Amino acid sequence: MLTPEDKQLIAEYMGWELSVYSREYYYIPKNGKVVYFDLTDAGLCVAEMQKRGELHSFLMMDTFNQISSWSDFIADLFNAENFFNVMSEWLKERGK
């Protein structure tokens, strides 16, 4: 489960804001509607990593390298909660 600190790291990376009313992170896409951060936003994070040229670094981190098989790697990567937990770890490692 994502901690508030994990959510904060991810939101800061993505440039999302914290709502003073709901205490949840949000972003406003081109359609102008407020969208609150949830597990469906993994694709947006991958796109941002690609844009920054950091996706390879993310995929090469030790957490993924310890997975024994290709199918386990794919299953782990495409589970949104796992993805965000690993993304948070990656962001913490980058900050060191």
Domain regions of the chain by residue span? 4-95
Say yes or no to pLDDT of 80 above 80: yes
Say yes or no to pLDDT of 29 above 80: yes
Say yes or no to pLDDT of 66 above 90: no
pLDDT at 23 (0 to 100) = 85
CA torsion sign, 33 to 19 to 93 to 96? positive
To the nearest whole number, what is the mean pLDDT of the chain? 85
Structure tokens that stand for 62 in this block: 């030790």
* Mean pLDDT computed over 22-34: 87
Burial of 28 (0-12, 13-18, 19+ CB in 10 A): exposed
